Amino acid sequence: QGCRVIDAFLAFDPRGRLEPAVGRWLLALKQEQDSQKNLRLAWAPADFRQPFSPATAPVVGPGSPLRPAEWAEGPSLLQVGARWRLYWDAYTKGHYGAASSEDLMTWTDETAQLQLPAKARHGTVFRAPLPP
């Protein structure tokens, strides 16, 4: 509440269990305020019987400990093994960013290890199988 939001990305978090009812939905979103163009998270129960939680403190961008001098948008969030990976477009700096977390609260900047085409812009990151 109280903030404009764009560029939302929805991902399911099974929370390490096979039963869908144990899981939850994660929402990575961009807060679209004049000086707070950052990424935050919110979540809702798997059955959507409750609304999404209020957004967290900034994960990436202004007001966060991770790349606070970069505006961020276009998040993609996916789980690889036990780690969550958050990707975003640092559009005013002309590059993509990446961070990882095991608990969705403490994030490690992995932008320096990210390898994408030079002009990759605002898109969705997803897992795809390698061709045979």
| 101-110 pLDDT per residue, tens | 999 999 999 9
List Cα–Cα distances, 100 to 2, 20, 96, in angstroms.
27, 23, 14
Which tokens is 51 given?
Answer: 């609304």
Residue 81 pLDDT exceeds 80 = yes
pLDDT at 21: 64
pLDDT at 20: 60
Task: Report the b/e string of 59-82 with b at 16+ CB within 10 A.
Answer: bbbbbbebbeebbbbbbbbbeeee
pLDDT at 118: 75
pLDDT at 32: 86
pTM, two decimals, is: 0.88
Question: For residue range 26-80, what is the model confidence (pLDDT) as tens digits?
Answer: 999 998 877 789 999 999 999 899 999 999 999 999 999 999 999 999 999 999 9
